[in-house]
Amino acid sequence: MPASNPMLVFVCAHNACRSAIAEVIAADEAQRRGLSVIVASAGTHALPGYGAATIAQTTMNEIGLSLERHRSQPANAELVSRATLVVAMTDAQRDMLHSAFPKDRDKVISFNDLTGLGDVPDPIGGEPDEVRAVRDQLQSAMPLIFHELKERAAG
């Protein structure tokens, strides 16, 4: 990857579960790979400054990662503009970001665009196993996500 650090941003609705989980997994993946990557997350409808959902924190603790320091933030023009790649959890969220930030639409893809596995379901209000399934789905997609980030950073 080039000298400037690429930035990877994950976006869901409230930045309390899915995108927060993806951010922590990606930061861990980058560290394990020895990559200098800036990783962030945001929400299309997020209020700033809130911690991750308790169920998300508990689920991440199970695999030795922490959401303790996570604070929600809304997706905004500066964040999207700085990003090398923005991965939205759903096609609808991708479309919202395309409408809100048309000059950066080429940076924004959905999880489904990248993996062909459909939207990442929102597990808030569900059972712990639903959050684990989302965590595992995001974790298994990281090689594809990092491949796409590398391609765009080299581009």
Which H, E and C letters describe 21-87, residue by residue? HHHHHHHHHHHHHCCCCEEEEEECCCCCCCCCCHHHHHHHHCCCCCCCCCCCCECCHHHHHHCCEEE
Does 12 participate in catalysis according to the annotation? yes
Does 32 participate in catalysis according to the annotation? no
Q: How far lies 52's CA from each of 14, 49, 75, 83, 96, in Å?
A: 9, 10, 16, 22, 22
- Least Cα distance to 26 among 118, 114, 99 occurs for 114
Q: Which of 12, 28, 94, 135 is catalytic?
A: 12
Does 17 participate in catalysis according to the annotation? no
Element (H, E) at 138: helix 128-154
Q: Which of 91, 104, 119, 122 is catalytic?
A: 122
CA distance 94 to 146: 18
Q: Which of 17, 18, 94, 135 is catalytic?
A: 18
SS3 call for 14: coil
Q: Which residues does the annotation mark as catalytic?
A: 12, 18, 122
